[in-house]
Structure 1
Amino acid sequence: MNSKLLKIGAIGTLVGVTAFTGMHYFGCGSKPIKPFTPIEDEIKKPKTPQKVGIIGSGNWGSAIAKIVGANALKNPDFFVEEVKQYVYEEEFEGRKLTEIINEDHMNKKYLPGIELPENIVADPDLISTVKDADLLIFVLPHQFVPRILGTIKGKLKKGVRAITLIKGVNFIDNKLVLISELIEKELECEVCSLMGANVANEVAQEQYCETSIGYKNVETGVLFWKLFNTENFEVRIVNDVKGPEICGALKNVVAIGAGFCDGVEEYGGNTKAAIMRVGLMEMKQFAQMYYPSVQTETFFESCGVGDLITTCFGGRNRKCAEAFVRTKKSWEEIEKDLLKGQKLQGTGTAIEVYEILKNDNVIDKFPLFKTIYKIVQGKLDPEDIVRYDQLD
């Protein structure tokens, strides 16, 4: 991407050209708002190569390790060659998983058939993985984050920076708590977020896709762009850490609604498109109600409308919601039957979002979210998804 035109605004509209020099973006001022793609040749190198540590080694974590490992090898002025990856030790086919990754260069349990770069070093010791890292990548199930943070707190290198790839949020005392907020509070470090329409297996197979990095400090955002961006995994960055995270959680709720549409025989593509459009509007309204700093442009990026589309057509939440309509089974039975150990996040998020909105007396401003909640709870029929604005 040498001397590539800077893409500014929603959905890649070309409206201008700018250059990155240190911390300045000509034409945008020193604090750009609209999403953009940095110019490769103008990125400022760090004073010393940055050491990267990855926390998590599941399907998505392994796909990301493939990208990060390759980019570390290609950019020795930016990154230390060795990339440690924390792997929860378990046995697979009679061998330790770390042994398989380090000797066969493949995570045969969670990402079979995909070769990993030889500079990815699996480590079962969490502290060993993170203690010397300059850049930390969090890519594990969100329910494990508090325990992980408690373990590594006070044991990190000064000035460490982090990025969360976790598509999930916590709800504490009827309040939404973002993963970036947890990391920032517990580790007292700068945190970015990476979210997008990124199905792990497709990313690992190098099928083209986009993703979004949200940042506070533009220099950090650009450095993470350098770490993740490839020809087939195209990254755009936006001055908004919280927006991508909220999109990553709420799109699962909308996908439940899309799945209801797929399960009701008389509803087709037009119906589903309507639910997706209203869902995107309520996602935006929720995000900006609770986090006024969230940028409108974020919702037109991969982390917003892009991730919403792919989840509503191919995600696990859509799949399970359709099965809920057709099989009449419980959510617990459907999760066990269809997800084979993975977790269904949309139903839980729908319930927790409803409780937040009800507690704040604003639930009537979110008729679709309210309707999805009531169908999830069995208080309405799936056919009622299209009457979201007519029901009490």
Structure 2
Amino acid sequence: HQFIPNFCKQLLGKIKPTAIAISLIKGFDKAEGGGIDLISHIITRHLNIPCAVLMGANLANEVAEGNFCETTIGCTDTKYGKVLRDLFQANHFRVVVVADADAVEVCGALKNIVACGAGFVDGLKLGDNTKAAVIRLGLMEMIRFVDVFYPGSKLSTFFESCGVADLITTCYGGRNRRVSEAFVTSGKTIEELEKEMLNGQKLQGPPTAEEVNYMLKNKGLEN
């Protein structure tokens, strides 16, 4: 996501001061000195406008086909939240707005780590019971992470589409799961599989795990 600051610089002076941004990017950027920086915070800093986030169980091909799904918009200002909900809401696309924007965004990144674990389970053919345990434990760790680093977040946010629903979808149908399964079964490196399966695009799970581990280590919470 290193392109975001440069892209924001190109927009400076070309957007109205009353504009609202919304980020659909599921991942973190590296903060100076290590750790993570939320994409919405980067956008707000560079453009000086509020930035909401949209996260949820929204596999792109299914959304494009018009299959019903839900999504979560995290927006700290209820006035802007209503505008964004009206903009995105459709018969097949149900939008729920919550004020817990940071937690919504963090869910969209952390679920990729859990999905890698689910892919390892699939590759090792450990079965659905083990996979369910990985998903449950992953959700608990997501909640704990947000509680430590973004205090004040609501537990109810994790039961919106951005939380448990997106986690389930990603652990069964996402590319982090698919590539992680292939990593176990093929003996190839993640880099080789990214080239073969993702046309050179990068998985978000592994680098996010590295950044999260750095933060946990600094807090003495690595284990």
TM-score calculated relative to the size of structure 2? 0.96
Partner of residue 140 from structure 2, selected from 281, 297, 312: 281
Pick one of 280, 283, 307 that aligns with 2:166: 307
Distance in 2, Cα, partners of 1:204 & 1:306:
18
Task: Quote the residue 1:163 is aligned against.
Answer: 22
Aligned to 1:52: none
Deviation at 1:359, TM superposition (A): 2.3
Within the candidate set 98, 107, 117, 1:238 is matched to 98
**Which stretches of structure 1, 4 residues or longer, exceed 4 Å deviation after superposition?**
none
Cα shift at 1:156: 2.1
| Unpaired stretches in structure 1, ≥5 consecutive residues | 1-141, 365-392
User: What is the letter of the counterpart of residue 221 of structure 2?
Assistant: V
Match of 1:214 among 52, 71, 74: 74
> Residues 347-385 of structure 1, C-alpha deviation per residue, up to 9 Å, x if partnerless?
111111112211222112xxxxxxxxxxxxxxxxxxxxx
- The answer as to whether partners of 2:35 and 2:214 remain within 8 angstroms in 1 is no
User: What's 1:328 paired with?
Assistant: 187
Q: CA deviation at 1:342?
A: 2.6
Separation of aligned partners in 2, 1:158 and 1:269: 50
Query: Does the residue aligned with 2:2 lie in a helix, a strand or coil?
Result: helix
Matched, 1:291 2:153: no
Q: Which amino acid aligns with 2:44?
A: E
1:44-91 alpha-carbon deviations (Å, 9 max, x no partner): xxxxxxxxxxxxxxxxxxxxxxxxxxxxxxxxxxxxxxxxxxxxxxxx
CA RMSD of aligned residues (A): 1.1
Q: What CA deviation, in whole Å up to 9, does each residue of 1:169-207 have, x standing for no partner? A: 112122221011101111111111100000111101100
> Of 63, 69, 79, which residue of structure 2 is paired with 1:203?
63
Q: Which residue of 1 aligns with 2:83?
A: 223
Q: In the alignment, does 2:44 pair up with 1:184?
A: yes
Tell me which amino acid in the other structure corresponds to 2:189. Answer: S
Which amino acid is 2:213 matched to? Y
1:313 is displaced (CA, Å) by 0.1
- Tell me by how many angstroms 1:293 deviates: 2.8
Alpha-carbon distance, 1:329 to partner: 0.8
Q: Which residue of 1 aligns with 2:215?
A: 356
Q: Give unpaired runs (5+ residues) of structure 2.
A: none
- 2 CA distance for matches of 1:278 and 1:300? 15
User: How far apart, CA to CA, are the structure 1 residues paired with 2:220 and 2:138?
Assistant: 20
Q: What's 2:205 paired with? A: 346
Q: Distance in 2 between matches of 1:240 and 1:356?
A: 21
Which residue matches 1:30? Answer: none
Whether the 8 Å CA contact 2:170–2:177 is kept in 1: the answer is yes
1:250 is matched with 110
SS in 2 for 1:189: coil
Task: Please give the alpha-carbon distance, in whole angstroms, between the structure 2 residues aligned to 1:170 and 1:295.
Answer: 23
Distance in 1, matches of 2:178 and 2:100, equals 30
Look up the SS of the partner of 1:212 in the other structure: strand
CA contact (8 A) 2:28 2:38 kept: yes
In structure 2, what residue type is equivalent to 1:188? N
Secondary structure of 2:71's aligned partner: strand
Residues matched between the structures, number: 222
Deviation, structure 1 residue 255: 0.2
Spell out the pairing of 1:76-225 with structure 2 (5 A cutoff).
142-172=1-31, 173-225=33-85
**1 or 2 for the larger relative contact order (CA 8 Å, sep ≥6)?**
2
The offset of 1:341, in angstroms, is 3.2
Deviation string, structure 1 residues 232-286 (Cα, Å, up to 9, x no partner)? 0111111111111100000000000000000112x10000000000000101111
Equivalent position amino acid for 2:209 in 1: A
Which of 119, 138, 159 pairs up with 1:259?
119
Residue 268, structure 1, aligned to residue 108, structure 2: no
Secondary structure of 1:294's partner?
coil
Secondary structure of the corresponding residue to residue 188 of structure 2 = coil
Q: Post-superposition shift, 1:155? A: 3.1
